[in-house]
Amino acid sequence: MRALLALEDGRCFEGESFGASGTRVGEICFNTAMTGYQEVLTDPSYRGQVVAMTYPLIGNYGINSLDQESRSPHVRGFVIEELTEIPSSWRSEMSLDEYLQKWKIPGAQGIDTRALTRHLRTRGAMKACLTTEKLSPEEATQRAVEGEGVIGMDYVREVSTSEIYRWDPDDKLSGPWSIASGNGASKRALPPIRFRIAAYDYGIKENILRLLRQKGFEVTVVPASTTAEEVLAIDPDGIFLSNGPGDPAALPYAHTAVHDLMGKKPIFGICLGHQILGFAFGGSTFKLKFGHRGANQPVKDLHSGKVAITAQNHGFAVDPESLPSNVEVTHINLNDGTVEGMRHNELPIFSVQYHPEAAPGPHDASYFFDQFADLIEKNL
């Protein structure tokens, strides 16, 4: 069956459909990771977006129940060069095609993703319509023009938990595993709990929760709309601000809550949490031309001079010129010089724009969770 991808500027790509049938509109973005498509599909940060993978062959190892970053996929559409129809992995439970059919998400293969990526890199992020229906290129383009994008959108309310809950109280989900025990049958023991933290769920990935527990944190997850007073009533040792989707400027309730928590508890934010912290400091964000999405983004630590290869997924960045004098930029992206980390010079608060939990991606930055523990210990 024919699939059509129409961008709002009139550029169209034709391919073959897989997954579900239908028409979906959202901002289109590209991800440069070679693996980890299941984690991409289930990452709540992709809410409202059509995702194109730049690696030419996707679906090789199928889908399994252990690599989910949330309970369901969040992308509106999935665009690839070539689909592996017969996956090969002892962990596979279904094919990528079957998975997208199950969740009613349309996919398109046979798309020249290299040309698509070059177009987005040159022209910038834009809205797109992915359809398997009998729409003309002109009709699909008009759907893209009229559809919603990301600017001004609060997708956090759609993905955040509605209730406060304790993550993995029985320690059945958080144990680290290796390839030898990849089926989950044998996991290494978890460390004793050192600190209790409250984690704001703006669209939190499960691997973040797993890694927090692996670092000795007891994690209480709270909804994105939770006030500072409600969080302080839990009496956590520290506050964690998670990743999430949409426009950080569209979350005034989150800005207020985090601002009110400043100086009361140590705070660590990543991705959207980092951007929300920027607003809480009194700063602002701006939209990147085409975003950072993939597992190979170089980031420089301005204090040590060391460079880490990081996993990233964001379309906005904190404006360094908007930050007050008592907030220091600690990390920058070597590709475009944008802010990748910051800290408050007077309060126990720091953040990074990228993903230390790296699912998928390298583990160069997992030490930030240890730094969070050290910060809490110093401020008890």
pLDDT tens, position by position, 114-140: 999 999 999 999 999 999 999 999 999
The domain in which residue 226 lies consists of 156-378
Residue 62, pLDDT > 60, answer: yes
* Domain-located, residue 309: yes
Tokens standing for residue 211 = 């890694």
The 10 Å Cβ neighbour count of residue 359 is 22
Tokens standing for residue 370 = 């240890």
Quickly list DSSP for 265-305. S-EEEETHHHHHHHHHTT--EEEEEEEEEEEEEEEEETTT-
Give residue 371's identity as a one-letter amino acid code. Answer: Q
Instruction: Among 101, 123, 146, identify where a domain stops.
Output: 146
Q: Are strands 77-79 and 23-31 parallel, antiparallel or unpaired?
A: unpaired
Phi and psi dihedrals of 231, rounded to 5?
A: -70, -45
Identify the band that residue 281 occupies on the pLDDT scale cut at 50, 70 and 90: very high
Measured distance CA(204)–CA(214) in Å, rounded: 16
Whether residues 308 and 352 share a domain: the answer is yes
Whether residues 167 and 92 share a domain: the answer is no
* Domain-located, residue 151: no
pLDDT for 190: 93
* Cβ–Cβ < 8 Å for 216, 256: no
Tokens standing for residue 81 = 């060069």
Instruction: Among 146, 168, 185, identify where a domain stops.
Output: 146
User: Hey, which residues are catalytic here?
Assistant: 271, 355, 357
For range 205-220, the mean pLDDT = 96
Whether residues 137 and 163 share a domain: the answer is no
Phi and psi dihedrals of 257, rounded to 5?
A: -60, -45
Q: Are strands 285-301 and 267-270 parallel, antiparallel or unpaired?
A: unpaired
- Using one digit for the tens of pLDDT, what is the confidence trace for 224-245? 999 999 999 999 999 999 999 9
Instruction: Among 146, 168, 195, identify where a domain stops.
Output: 146
pLDDT for 265: 98
pTM of the model: 0.95
Residue 22, pLDDT > 80, answer: yes
Q: Would you give the distance in Å from CA 164 to the centre of its chain?
A: 21
Measured distance CA(58)–CA(81) in Å, rounded: 8
Whether residues 160 and 296 share a domain: the answer is yes
Of 108-122, 192-206, 279-293, 361-375, the poorest mean pLDDT is in: 361-375
- Mapping DSSP to helix (H, G, I), strand (E, B) and coil, where does residue 206 land? helix
* Domain-located, residue 210: yes
* CA separation, residue 307 to residues 34, 85, 145, 335, 340 (Å): 21, 38, 40, 12, 12
Whether residues 121 and 208 share a domain: the answer is no
Whether residues 204 and 352 share a domain: the answer is yes
* Domain-located, residue 116: yes
Measured distance CA(158)–CA(147) in Å, rounded: 18
Q: Are strands 267-270 and 238-241 parallel, antiparallel or unpaired?
A: parallel
